[in-house]
Amino acid sequence: MKKVSIGVVGAGIYGNYHLNIYTSDKNVENVVVCELNERRKQQAEDKYGIKGYSSVDSMLQNEQLDAVSIATSDPYHFDTAMDAMNHGIKYLFIEKPLATTLDESYQIVQLAEEKNVRICVDFHKRWDPAYNAIKKELKSGDANLIRGYMSLDDIIDVPTKWLNWADKSSPAWFLGVHCYDLIRYLTGSEVETVYATGNKGVLANQGIDTYDSMQAILTMTDGSNWTVENAWVLPNTFPKSNDGQLVIVTDNKYFKNESYRGLEQYTSEKASIPNYLFMNFDEEVPWGFGIEPIQDFVRNIIENTDFRANVYDGLQATKIANAIHESVITKKIIKLEK
Distance CA 197, CA 296 (A): 36
Where among 122, 139, 165 does a domain terminate? 122
- Residue 11, pLDDT > 90, answer yes
Contacts 24+ apart (CB under 8 A), 205-209: 206/160, 208/159, 208/160, 208/166, 208/167, 209/167
Q: How confident is the model at residue 260 (pLDDT cuts 50, 70, 90)?
A: confident
Q: What is the pLDDT, as a whole number, of residue 276? A: 81
Residue 49 and residue 13 share a domain: yes
Q: What is the pLDDT, as a whole number, of residue 274? A: 82
How many separate domains does the chain show? 2
Residue closest to 80 by CA, chosen among 62, 107, 102: 107
Model confidence pLDDT, tens digit, residues 193-218: 999 999 999 999 999 999 999 999 99
Distance CA 13, CA 69 (A): 14
Q: Is 307 inside any structural domain?
A: no
The whole domain housing 246 covers 125-278+316-335
- Residue 164, pLDDT > 90, answer yes
Residue 224 and residue 115 share a domain: no
Residue 272 and residue 140 share a domain: yes
Summary mean pLDDT of the chain = 95
Residue 214 and residue 190 share a domain: yes
- Residue 262, pLDDT > 80, answer no
- Tell me the CATH number at 8: 3.40.50.720
Q: Is 109 inside any structural domain?
A: yes
Model confidence pLDDT, tens digit, residues 105-146: 999 999 999 999 999 999 999 999 999 999 999 988 788 999
Q: What is the pLDDT, as a whole number, of residue 1? A: 62
Where among 122, 151, 178 does a domain terminate? 122
Residue 33 and residue 105 share a domain: yes
Residue 235 and residue 206 share a domain: yes
Listed range (137-146, 226-235, 284-293) with the worst mean pLDDT? 137-146
Where among 122, 151, 176 does a domain terminate? 122
Q: Is 180 inside any structural domain?
A: yes
- Residue 283, pLDDT > 80, answer no
Q: Is 162 inside any structural domain?
A: yes
Q: Is 292 inside any structural domain?
A: no
Kind of pairing between the strands at 265-266 and 271-272: antiparallel
Residue closest to 230 by CA, chosen among 194, 185, 199, 191: 199
Q: Is 165 inside any structural domain?
A: yes
- Tell me the CATH number at 174: 3.30.360.10
Q: Is 288 inside any structural domain?
A: no
What is the DSSP-derived secondary structure letter of residue 280? Answer: B
Q: How confident is the model at residue 338 (pLDDT cuts 50, 70, 90)?
A: confident
Residue 142 and residue 252 share a domain: yes
- Residue 172, pLDDT > 70, answer yes
Kind of pairing between the strands at 191-199 and 254-258: unpaired
Averaged over 79-100, what is the pLDDT?
97
To 10 degrees, the CA torsion angle through 43, 122, 131, 288?
-30
Residue 241 and residue 155 share a domain: yes
Model confidence pLDDT, tens digit, residues 292-334: 999 999 999 999 999 999 999 999 999 999 999 999 999 999 9
CB atoms within 10 A of CB 179: 26
Residue 200 and residue 265 share a domain: yes
Q: Compare 63 and 140 and report the one with higher pLDDT.
A: 63
Q: Is 143 inside any structural domain?
A: yes
Q: What is the pLDDT, as a whole number, of residue 50? A: 98
Question: Could you tell me the pTM of the whole model?
Answer: 0.95
Residue 14 and residue 161 share a domain: no
Residue 322 and residue 185 share a domain: yes
Residue 179 and residue 250 share a domain: yes
